[in-house]
């Protein structure tokens, strides 16, 4: 009886040198987070008097309590709302455009795709003044809706580029067979192509979500009210004009990193598979 063929990525065997490099890289990546967490448990005096690498003498939750009883949850809710809505529009617009570029043929396809890719070279911060004036004119300044537009616009080019490459790898026979059977382009996209690039969608979704979650400049320029502040701005509140509460900032950063850490743990397998698939295709 023939064995059933399975598809997937097998974990490669690492040489001793590769293991050493991996451990060193792990330490480089994780040590700053350990310092950040430990610093959140120190008081202001202990932070000044003791070395940064030393464990807290008195483990105190006062910094975490101050952050949690402040505007943390309000900023968390605003960030979740903006990121979730933005990611929905990014995925739907980018995946639809990628399907059109990968399988549909219309006049100006190459020129339009080149224009989308060329948008990657536009420095984001050079558009701050035009976007500020536009949000004022559209009466969405100091509104969370005013952040969604720029977030979606600047994330679409790279997302379209990546998803287009994945969709071009799907055999064209699937598309032609579905069209012959009478399926519409929308049905082909939602029932065939979108499920097949689900791993790639999760991968670009996580990368875009991390970028939007940590975005500071647009949120700082396009909002002014305290109840419209996103999570990075609530962390910025602990920065004073003449001094900074470093332990409180470290506590706020630790709490701000929890949602992203949980998201990575949930989607870790699909993220790794998507990155490996992209490496193989390239």
CATH code for the domain of 150: 1.10.3720.10
Close Cβ partners of 84 (under 8 Å, ≥ 6 residues apart):
none
Written as six digits, the tokens of 73 are 């949850």
Q: Domain containing 115: what range? A: 71-281
- On whether residue 163 sits in a domain, the answer given is yes
Residue 150: per-residue pLDDT: 92
Residue 1: per-residue pLDDT: 43
Written as six digits, the tokens of 117 are 């890719």
Distance CA 42, CA 55 (A): 9
Distance CA 212, CA 236 (A): 16
Q: Which residue has the higher pLDDT, 46 or 96?
A: 96
Confidence of residue 205 (pLDDT cuts 50, 70, 90): confident
- On whether residue 6 sits in a domain, the answer given is no
Written as six digits, the tokens of 36 are 């950040």
The reply to whether 84 and 52 lie within a common domain is no
229: number of CA atoms within 13 Å, CB side?
18
The answer to whether residues 253 and 36 touch, using CB atoms and an 8 Å cutoff, is yes
The reply to whether 37 and 80 lie within a common domain is no
The reply to whether 25 and 112 lie within a common domain is no
Written as six digits, the tokens of 207 are 């990368």
Residue 242: per-residue pLDDT: 54
The reply to whether 30 and 81 lie within a common domain is no
The per-residue DSSP string of 96-113 comes to HHHHHHHH---TTHHHHH
Distance CA 39, CA 252 (A): 11
The reply to whether 22 and 149 lie within a common domain is no
Residue 96: per-residue pLDDT: 92
The reply to whether 107 and 235 lie within a common domain is yes
The reply to whether 270 and 248 lie within a common domain is yes
140-190 pLDDT tens trace: 998 999 999 999 999 999 999 999 988 988 888 888 888 888 888 888 888
43-76 pLDDT tens trace: 777 777 777 777 888 788 888 888 888 888 888 8
Domain count, the chain: 2
The reply to whether 96 and 215 lie within a common domain is yes
- On whether residue 65 sits in a domain, the answer given is no
The reply to whether 120 and 192 lie within a common domain is yes
Q: What is the residue-averaged pLDDT of the chain?
A: 83
Entry pTM:
0.79
């Amino acid at each position: 009886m023939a064995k059933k063929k399975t598809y997937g990525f097998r974990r490669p065997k690492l040489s001793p040198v590769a293991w050493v490099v991996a451990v060193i890289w792990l330490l480089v990546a994780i040590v700053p987070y350990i310092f950040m967490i430990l610093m959140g448990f120190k008081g202001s005096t202990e932070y000044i008097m003791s070395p940064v690498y030393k464990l807290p003498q008195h483990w105190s939750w006062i910094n975490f309590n101050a952050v949690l009883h402040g505007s943390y949850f309000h900023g968390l809710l605003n960030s979740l709302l903006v990121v979730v809505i933005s990611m929905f529009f990014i995925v739907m617009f980018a995946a639809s455009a990628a399907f059109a570029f990968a399988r549909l043929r219309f006049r100006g396809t190459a020129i339009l795709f080149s224009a989308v890719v060329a948008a990657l070279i536009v420095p984001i911060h050079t558009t701050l003044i035009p976007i500020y004036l536009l949000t004022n004119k559209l009466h969405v300044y100091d509104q969370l809706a005013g952040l969604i537009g720029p977030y979606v616009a600047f994330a679409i080019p790279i997302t379209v580029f990546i998803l287009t490459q994945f969709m071009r790898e799907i055999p064209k026979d699937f598309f032609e067979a579905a069209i012959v059977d009478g399926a519409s382009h929308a049905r082909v996209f939602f029932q065939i192509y979108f499920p097949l690039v689900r791993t790639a969608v999760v991968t670009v979704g996580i990368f875009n979500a991390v970028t939007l979650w940590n975005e500071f400049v647009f949120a700082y320029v396009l909002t002014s009210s305290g109840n419209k502040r996103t999570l990075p701005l609530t962390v910025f509140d602990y920065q004073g004009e003449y001094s900074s509460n470093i332990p409180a900032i470290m506590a706020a950063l630790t709490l701000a990193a929890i949602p992203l850490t949980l998201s990575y743990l949930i989607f870790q397998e699909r993220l790794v598979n998507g990155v490996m698939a992209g490496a193989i295709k390239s």
